Amino acid sequence: MSGNTLISEFYTKTRMVSYRTSMQIVADLLTVTEQSGQEGIKTTSLLTKANLSHSRLSKFLGNLTGAGLINKIEFDGQEYFCNYYKR
């Protein structure tokens, strides 16, 4: 085997990235907000726990709040998010 082949095989194997689907991201957001309880979770904590950028999180939260799956609570100038669906 030549050196270039080994390098290209290593590069190909290490560059394989698995991206989450939109459904997986929604599931992550619903799980995180459910775990936060009735107190809700701040936007910054939600960003970190869901591993999303602010712009992507804003789009998903807009869709989920519009669908009634996540509730947005504003208190003391801060936003909190929680969900109240029953099982």
- Is 35 inside any structural domain? yes
Q: What is the CATH number of the domain that holds 62?
A: 1.10.10.10
Mean pLDDT by 10 residues, the chain (87 residues): 54 67 93 89 93 94 93 90 71
- Examine residue 63 and state whether it is found in any structural domain, yes or no: yes
Helix (H, G, I), strand (E, B) or coil at 87: coil
Q: In this predicted structure, what is the pLDDT of residue 39?
A: 85
**From the centroid of its chain, how far is CA 52?**
5
pLDDT given at position 24: 94
Crossing angle of the two packed helices 54-66 and 22-35, in degrees rounded to 10: 80
Write down the pTM of the prediction.
Answer: 0.74
Q: How far apart are CA 52 and CA 12, in angstroms?
A: 25
Closest CA to 28 of 11, 46, 43: 46
Provide the pLDDT for residue 21.
93
| Segments forming the whole domain that contains residue 35 | 21-82
User: For residue 19, what pLDDT is reported?
Assistant: 87
Q: Give 5's contacts (C-beta < 8 A, 6+ positions apart).
A: none
Count structural domains, the chain.
1
Decide if 30 is inside a domain: yes
